[in-house]
Structures are given as C-alpha cells and as structure tokens.
Amino acid sequence: HVSALLQTAPPHGRRPASSRPHAAARREGGAMSTRRQRKLQTLTCFFWLVSAISCAVLLMHRSTALRVLQAGYQLAYGPQEEKLVPLSDIQDGLEPSNPAPFKTKKPRAGNADVVPANAFSEDSKGSARPPPPSPPPAEVSPPASAAAGGEAEGTAAPGDAAGGAVKAPGPPKYVAKYGFYIHAYNMPAAVIHQVRQLKKFFPRSPVYIMSDGGVRFDGLCKAENCTFMLCPPANDRWHPWPWFRRMYDAAVSLNTEFLIMLEPDNTIHGPITRHPTHDAGGLRVPRRRFNREYAEKLAQEVKPGFKWKEESMEAGLCGGSYYRTAAVLDAFSDESIARIDWNLLGEVCTKEVYSSDFAMPFALTARGYEMWPWEDAAQMETSTTKPKAGSGPADAAIKHYGGAYPGGKPTYNLRVEPADEKLFKDPLSKHKQFNTNCQVCYNLKTYTERFGSDQCTNHLPFKYSKVMKQRYPGR
C-alpha cells in the first residue's frame, strides 16, 4: 500500500493538474471583486460629493429652499388654492367679465371721495381717514353714450314713474370717460403746464394731483378747478403699498370710466383718438418679458384658465398709461395688494420688482386683468420728431420722454412765470425733516408714528423678510 501511494502521489511542492483551473478561477474572481469594490467606492464618493454640494446650495438659499419645501408639502397635502409657484426671473384683448370677489374678506371701499385742497396744512396733526363712499359695483359696463372728444357719461336706469317699480340698475354713472391722475413731487412749472393742456383738450375731464410729500398745488387746483391731495412722503414709486392706495383713492375721487396716469415729464398733444381696448394700457416696450407662473397662479383663482400673454407684457405702465376704474378698485385695493407675496417676488427677483413700472403689471395680472400696448402713447428718445421704434405713433395724444432726448425733457426746461408763483407752495416743514428717498425701507408703524395716521397708504401691515433686509441693508 505504501508503494502504491508513493507511485500515485505528485512530486513534492506540485499540485495535480486537475486543480490548476480552480486556482485560475479563484484569481479571476478576486480581480472582479476588487473592481466591484472600486466601483462601489467611486459611487459612494460621488454620492457624498453631490450631497455636500446640495447642502451648500441649500444653506446659501435656505429661504428659497424653505418655500420650495412648503410649496411641495401644500401640493401633496394642502388645499389647492394655497399652493405657490415660485417666481424665477424678471427681465428688463380680453378683459375679465366679472372677477370673483374675495372669499375671505370684503374689500374695503375707497376713502378719497372728495379730498379738500387743504387736507394737510402746516399745523396739521394728522387725522383719521375720511368716511368711505359706497362700495363700487361688482360689474362695470361702459357708458351707453359718448360725448365729443372721447368723453362719455353712463346713465342709471330710472324707476318706473307710473307704478313705482324699480328697474334693474344700469351702468354706473361716471362724470366723464377719462379722468387724469398726476403723480407729482416737484417740477411746479411742468405740472402747471400739464394741467392747462388737459383743460384745453379735455375740458370736461376731472384732474387729480397727488404730491408725495413735495410741492403743494392748492392754489393751482383752486384756479383750475382740480383736486389736490398732499400725502406724506413715502417715495411711493419704490414702495407698492402707498403707491397703490393713492392711485385707488384717485380713482374713487375722479369717478370716471378710465383713469389716465401722468407724470410731470409727459406732454399732451390733443384729444384721445385711439380709445382704450383693455383693462390697462401703456407705452409699447418691445420684447419685454416677465416670468408668469406666480401671477398666473393667483389670477386663475379668480379667472380659471387665465394666461398672461406676451404682448400684454409689452405694455409699459408708466406716465401716459390708462386703467379701467373697475380694475383699479379691485386689483389695487388694500386686500388685493396684501394677497400678493411681495417678499417672494423680491427674494427670487430683485428689489426692482417693487418699482411701480413692474409692480402694477403683477398686481393687475394677479386679479385676472389684461394690459395691452396703447397706440395713443409714444416714447420719445433720440429724435425730436420720431418716437422710439415700435413705441407708438408720431401723432400720439400723450408722449413720454427718455433721458437721451435732445436738450433734455421739454417740460423740465420750463420756468415758472411770475404770475404763477402763487399757484404752489414749498413742501411742509414736517415733511422735509424726514429723508424718505430710500428703497426697501417702507414700514407702516413708522409711517403712522411720523404722520399721525395711515392716510395715503395700505392699512394692512407688511414686513420685509430677513433675506430682503440682508440683501438690501440701509437702502
């Protein structure tokens, strides 16, 4: 047996030939295992790298991330009407038949039905708002008849004299088709010239002048039969809350079918011949676009299916723009403005969204109203005879001027005639003591403490987010 075993045993240190394939397989299996481990390590490193970058981005934009998470939670579990679609960017006709009213609060009526010229005086201590007029009708139809020069009056259906029955109410009665709202601060010669041009071409249209804590035009309105309102200084062109309230008050006081907003650099060249076709309209700004998601989401709550058209975005709402009064009383009310998340707009965009030129398109769109370029307004830039390409016709009734206009803006070159010096006064001393020429600095509490009431501003409070305060400190 020992001999047999010795004869069959392999030489010392060698394995049977049959075991060699198994060794090769084990070596190949070990190499594959090593490659799998390396792949796993690579994927793990990549995962942690992506996680670290994501965490850094979230920390840098924690406020935006929080809003996205909140929006996602509301999308999954919350009611549909509370979902928010964040706005992502901002760059430099049909009308709603009857926008649905608020379901939570009844909009407050206006408070500037009749505003006396001496609403503020040098020794004024501030007072409560004047009594509000009756709420505006829910549905507004255009007046039935039109007068010469583009003016018209609506008529209410009278009661039946014979039987004493009351008929269904007709269109609201307006004093004229157009009323003019002049937003002013200084430039008295320009304002005086503007009012006289309006009286020349629109003798039946009322004129309302609002001064943002600046020059007082009491004497001018007494002489030219217009309405003057001196509001506390708020730099409202950069703060939507006083801006919209003052325009709302002007619409109530004017009581016209359309309100036309003017600034001192506008010039009037004749009666309006191309009448409004939409809820608002202004200078054409070719190729201007807004990000529409957030505004459309709000609009669709009151007008399902509403879309913000690209041509509607090209309507520049600056001096020389028109607004349907019914749209102003709805979209610019305190409650409508408080419904908009202005911090969201400011954080995702820039502070420029608070400028009136951008804030008004958002506010109107958020209530389902539509704007359109107006062919009776033109922008003058580098030529004294030809408007900027695409901005309006040369024979437009109202013109607006840019900084490149040869010789400067025409009305800014005017000088006050000696006979007109009695038509205006310097700003109040209590208004001059506050430096309100700032941006991202509005505060309702400070406003009421300084001026004694919340007159001329939104009575609902607003507070800037921490992100806005950090991004624009001391502006």
Q: What does each of the 475 residues of the chain score in pLDDT, given as a tens digit?
A: 445 444 444 544 445 555 555 555 556 666 666 777 888 888 888 888 888 887 766 555 554 555 555 545 444 444 433 333 333 333 333 333 333 333 333 334 333 333 333 333 333 333 334 444 434 433 333 333 333 344 444 433 333 333 344 455 556 689 999 999 999 999 999 999 999 999 999 999 999 999 999 999 999 999 999 999 999 999 999 999 999 999 999 999 999 999 999 999 999 999 999 999 999 999 999 888 887 899 999 999 999 999 999 999 999 999 999 999 999 999 999 999 999 999 999 998 889 999 999 999 999 999 999 999 999 999 999 999 999 998 899 999 999 999 899 999 999 999 999 999 999 999 999 999 988 889 999 999 999 999 999 999 999 999 999 999 999 986 6
Q: Which two tokens stand for residue 413?
A: 């070159």
The predicted model scores a pTM of: 0.67
CA distances to 153, 271, 375, 391 from 178, rounded to whole Å, are 10, 11, 16, 22
Q: Are 341 and 310 in contact (CB under 8 A)?
A: no
Q: Residue 335 in contact with residue 460, Cβ under 8 Å? A: yes
pLDDT, residue 145, reads: 33
Assign residue 287 a region (left: φ > 0; alpha: ψ between -120 and 50; beta: otherwise).
left
Q: How far apart are the C-alpha atoms of 146 and 142, rounded to whole Å? A: 10
Greatest CA separation found in the chain? 145
**Could you count the other beta carbons within 10 Å of the beta carbon of residue 6?**
8
pLDDT number for residue 114: 34
Instruction: Tell me how far apart the alpha carbons of residues 429 and 328 are, in angstroms, rounded to a whole number.
Output: 32
| pLDDT, position 198 | 98
In one-letter notation, the amino acid at residue 3 is: S
CA dist 84 and 42 (Å) reads 39
Structure token pair of residue 368: 């389902």
- Distances from the Cα of 234 to the Cα of 118, 243, 283, 351, 409, angstroms: 19, 9, 26, 16, 25
Tokens 């609902």 correspond to what residue? 460
Enumerate residues 6+ apart whose C-beta is below 8 A from 336: 102, 107, 330, 363, 366, 367
Give the contacts of 411 (CB within 8 A, at least 6 positions apart): 187, 189, 190, 193, 194, 264, 265, 266, 267
| Tally of CB atoms within 10 A around 68 | 14
Q: Bridge partners of 184? A: 211
Task: Give the integer Cα–Cα distance in Å for 172 and 129.
Answer: 25
Residue 452, strand partner residues: none
CA 285 and chain centroid, separation = 16
| Nearest CA among 151, 158, 114 for reference residue 133 | 114
CA–CA separation, 292 and 275 (whole Å): 27
Q: Which residues pair with 425 in a beta bridge?
A: 216
Q: Report yes or no: 433 and 232 within 8 Å, Cβ to Cβ.
A: no
Q: Which residues contact 466 (CB under 8 A, 6 or more apart)?
A: 63
Q: Which residues contact 120 (CB under 8 A, 6 or more apart)?
A: 216, 230, 428
CA distance 226 to 224: 6
Residue 264's nearest CA partner among 382, 117, 391, 399 is 399
Say if CB 344 and CB 287 are below 8 A apart. no
CB atoms inside a 10 Å sphere around CB 149: 18
Q: What is the DSSP letter of 418?
A: G
Tell me the β-bridge partners of 145. Answer: 153
Integer Cα distance of 403 and 407 in angstroms: 9
